[in-house]
């Protein structure tokens, strides 16, 4: 089997469409994972023991089961119970919720790292809960979280081909469709791999640089 540039150029327009979907899915799912993760992290510090236990087991459950299984259940099983999602929506929901259980840990660690004295200083100045979070805790907690959060972004990006399993025509499925109808696998799949590398490697380098920068920053 030899590399054919003709095939490579032939598949490119379809791949380009797939790339757009891949990027969209990554962005929406990661935003969901960040917002939800922060919410989970804050709620996990709640005074209510019941809430903490429920959250603990829910997040453990989500984290300990494969994404592919979760995608199938939400996309193919929930409709039996009257809950329908469009493929793309279903994909970003599952991906976002799954990774929110990981980002929640990043947020929790970042928040835990803010010294107790900062909470006490805020209280002594009579800041309310909201003012304390917004003005004292999060501004200190978030910068060190950026590198691990960026790493999860890259991981989610790399997991998007899973959405192909529920009919989302992202980059991988676009290539797969071409391959199946033309019996050409070498060029489409190589290009998919190359594309992921082109995005992943610079992002990984950037994440590493961020990590170095925040490590140097002394508070």
Partner 1 sequence: MDNIITFDKVSKSFGELKVLDQLNLEVKDGEKLALIGPSGSGKTTILRILMTLETIDSGFVSVNNEYLWHEKINDKVVPATDKHLQKMRDQIGMVFQQFNLFPHLTAIENVKQPQILVKKKNESEAKEKAEHLFNMIGLSDKIDHYPHQLSGGQQQRVAIARALAMDPKIMLFDEVTSALDPELVDEVLAVLRKLAADSDTTMLTVTHEMNFAQDFADRVLFFDAGQIVESGSPKDLFSNPREERTKSFLRKFI
Residues lying near partner 1 in the complex (CB under 8 A) are found at 115, 117-118, 120-121, 123-128, 131, 135-136, 139-140, 218-219
Nearest to 177 by CA among 26, 16, 11: 11
Instruction: Give me the least distance between CB of 38 and partner 1, in Å please.
Output: 18
Alpha helices in the chain (DSSP H): 5-43, 49-63, 67-72, 87-112, 116-124, 129-132, 138-159, 171-182, 186-216
| Residue among 123 and 182 whose Cβ is closer to partner 1 | 123
Cβ count within 10 A of residue 158: 13
Instruction: Give me the least distance between CB of 123 and partner 1, in Å please.
Output: 6
Instruction: Give me the least distance between CB of 115 and partner 1, in Å please.
Output: 8
| Residue among 85 and 127 whose Cβ is closer to partner 1 | 127
| Residue among 136 and 153 whose Cβ is closer to partner 1 | 136
User: Degrees (nearest 5) of the Cα angle 158, 104, 143?
Assistant: 85
Tokens of 207: 């994440």
| Residue among 83 and 125 whose Cβ is closer to partner 1 | 125
| Residue among 132 and 177 whose Cβ is closer to partner 1 | 132
Instruction: Give me the least distance between CB of 218 and partner 1, in Å please.
Output: 6
Instruction: Give me the least distance between CB of 141 and partner 1, in Å please.
Output: 10
CA distances from 35 to 27, 31, 113, 175 (A): 12, 6, 20, 32
């Amino acid at each position: 089997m030899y590399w054919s540039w003709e095939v490579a150029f032939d598949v490119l327009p379809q791949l380009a469409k797939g790339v757009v979907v891949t990027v969209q899915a990554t962005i929406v799912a990661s935003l969901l994972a960040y917002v939800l993760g922060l919410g989970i992290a804050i709620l996990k510090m709640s005074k209510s023991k019941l809430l903490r236990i429920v959250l603990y087991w829910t997040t453990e459950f989500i984290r300990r089961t494969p994404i592919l299984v979760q995608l199938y259940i939400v996309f193919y099983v929930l409709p039996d119970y009257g809950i329908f999602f469009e493929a793309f929506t279903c994909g970003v929901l599952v991906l976002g919720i799954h990774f929110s259980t990981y980002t929640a840990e990043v947020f929790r660690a970042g928040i835990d790292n803010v010294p107790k004295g900062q909470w006490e200083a805020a209280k002594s100045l009579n800041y309310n809960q909201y003012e304390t979070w917004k003005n004292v805790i999060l501004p200190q907690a978030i910068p060190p979280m950026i590198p691990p959060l960026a790493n999860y972004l890259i991981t989610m990006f790399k997991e998007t081909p899973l959405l192909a399993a529920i009919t989302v025509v992202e980059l991988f499925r676009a290539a797969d469709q071409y391959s199946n109808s033309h019996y050409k696998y070498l060029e489409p799949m190589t290009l998919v791999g190359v594309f992921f590398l082109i995005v992943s490697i610079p992002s990984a380098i950037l994440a590493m640089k961020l990590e170095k920068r925040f490590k140097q920053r002394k508070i």
